[in-house]
Structure 1
Amino acid sequence: MFTGLIEEIGVLRRVQRRGEAMVLTLSASKVLEDVKLGDSISVNGVCLTVVAFDGSTFSVDVMPQTFRHSNLRELKPGSPVNLERAMMAGGRFGGHIVQGHVDGIGIVANRSADANAVVFEVKPEEESLLRHVVPQGSVTLDGISLTVASVDREAGSLTVSIIPHTLRETALQYKSVGDTINIECDIIGKYVDHLLSRRGLTQPEGRASQARGGLTEELLREYGF
């Protein structure tokens, strides 16, 4: 589990690829301070396992499932990446619950200035992801915990507003219109939606089904809320 607070920007040094399987070797410093074989490190929001390391680099395996559903397949030697170690139980929880399980890929549709902030508009390749994105809720983009500024369902996009510190300390600073970005929706919304869907209480558009009673206090109590 991660918090979405990026610890450093790493650099991809080497890609070993066999079909849709890859081994990535990345240079880093901070995330290597206490690294051990088998540790989890988030790379652009994807939870990966350390399979080798030395004083300045670490290597991770990327399996076909991850290759197909994230933008890691687009990385080339020299690409900057966001890095975060798995959270410690006794540490501050500064972001939100991030699993490192990417839900889909988005495209940067627009990048614009708003006073001291930079606003990114992102269009998920699968528009259905937007059902789990809530204005002023949380979303993870390339591993960064961000607050959703707005959701435009007609345009099929969401926007986030980035403060100067976040832009400076993450690889988001290098993103331009047309670039891809990994999206992980808020886990709480996904689980609630899945639970209600199994009970037949939501329709594909996410509206409660009045025929089945909708979301009630009784239902919430039954499932421990």
Structure 2
Amino acid sequence: MFTGLVEIIGQVSEYSTQDTSESGGNGVSITISKAAEILGDCHLGDSIAVNGTCLTVTEFNKDSFKVGVSQETLRKTNLGDLKAGVNVNLERAVTSDVRLGGHVVQGHVDTIATIISRTPDGNSIVFEFELRDKRFINYIVHKGFIAVDGTSLTVVDVDYKLARFKIMMIAHTQTRVVLPQKAIGDSVNIEVDLTGKLIERQIETQLENQLQNEDSALQKLVNRLIDEKIAKLKA
């Protein structure tokens, strides 16, 4: 679990699509440098969020660490677009003594979004994004939380028809995350607030249980409406 409060900006020093080393696992691996600040207490197998994607450390030294990336992660995120020299947001998994200053972020990216616009507003910047997978707009609400490249941000506007939303980034945050370094047309990783998905599942389960119960209020209502419809057709 993460908080969405980016600790440092690291830099991709190596991106391999066929890493045959033991730590690479004969797959895609990313080595990230300029990360000394968060590696003092690092262990093999630790989780670090890279642009909001929870990845497992397979190798590290004082300044850099390596992670493997599965094909499923490549399909869901923009990590496949990374290359040497690109900066990335980094956050270690939380411990019991960490304050939850952002919101609960799993590091399980739901989809990617494209930067549609960036507009100055005083010393802040308003970013607008369009989701690749439109259905996730249903979990985004005005003044709700969202993780953009692992950064916990507040939604300031939502367009459900176009699957677009906006966030405002204050000056303090602009110097500590990678989003201001990106241009219109670039992609970002999106993780919607888990709360919305949990509520949806609870409602679905409740409805399913009631529909399967002949004595439930919902099933009786459905039966009554069907009977009324049939009666009208016969009249």
**TM-score interval w.r.t. the shorter chain?**
0.7 to 0.9
Q: In structure 1, how many angstroms separate the alpha carbons of the residues matched to 2:80 and 2:201? A: 29
When normalised by structure 1's length, the TM-score is 0.87
Residue type of the partner of 1:48? L
> Contact 1:200 / 1:212 at 8 angstroms: preserved in 2?
no
Structure 1 residue 66 and structure 2 residue 76: aligned? no
> Contact 1:21 / 1:67 at 8 angstroms: preserved in 2?
no
Specify every segment of 5 or more residues in structure 2 that has no aligned partner in the other structure, as ranges.
20-25, 209-216, 221-235
Equivalence for 2:230: none
Structure 1 segment 52-91 matched on structure 2, within 5 A = 52-91=59-98
Alignment equivalent of 1:25, drawn from 31, 46, 71: 31
When normalised by structure 2's length, the TM-score is 0.83
| Secondary structure, counterpart of 2:175 in structure 1 | helix
| Secondary structure, counterpart of 2:66 in structure 1 | strand
Alignment equivalent of 1:92, drawn from 90, 94, 99: 99
Structure 1 segment 115-194 matched on structure 2, within 5 A = 115-194=122-201
Q: In structure 2, how many angstroms separate the alpha carbons of the residues matched to 1:42 and 1:195? A: 28
Q: In structure 1, how many angstroms separate the alpha carbons of the residues matched to 2:139 and 2:96? A: 27
Q: In structure 2, how many angstroms separate the alpha carbons of the residues matched to 1:212 and 1:66? A: 41
How far is the alpha carbon of 1:92 from its aligned partner? 1.0
What is the RMSD computed on CA atoms of the aligned residues? 1.9
Residue type of the partner of 1:62? V
Larger Rg: 2
How far is the alpha carbon of 1:212 from its aligned partner? 6.8
| Secondary structure, counterpart of 2:197 in structure 1 | helix
> How much identity, in percent, do the aligned residues show?
40
Specify every segment of 5 or more residues in structure 1 that has no aligned partner in the other structure, as ranges.
202-209, 214-225
How far is the alpha carbon of 1:139 from its aligned partner? 0.2
> Contact 1:150 / 1:159 at 8 angstroms: preserved in 2?
yes
Q: How many residue pairs get matched?
A: 205
Equivalence for 1:3: 3
Q: What CA deviation, in whole Å up to 9, does each residue of 1:97-151 have, x standing for no partner? A: 0000000010001111111210000111011111001110100000000001110
How far is the alpha carbon of 1:200 from its aligned partner? 3.6
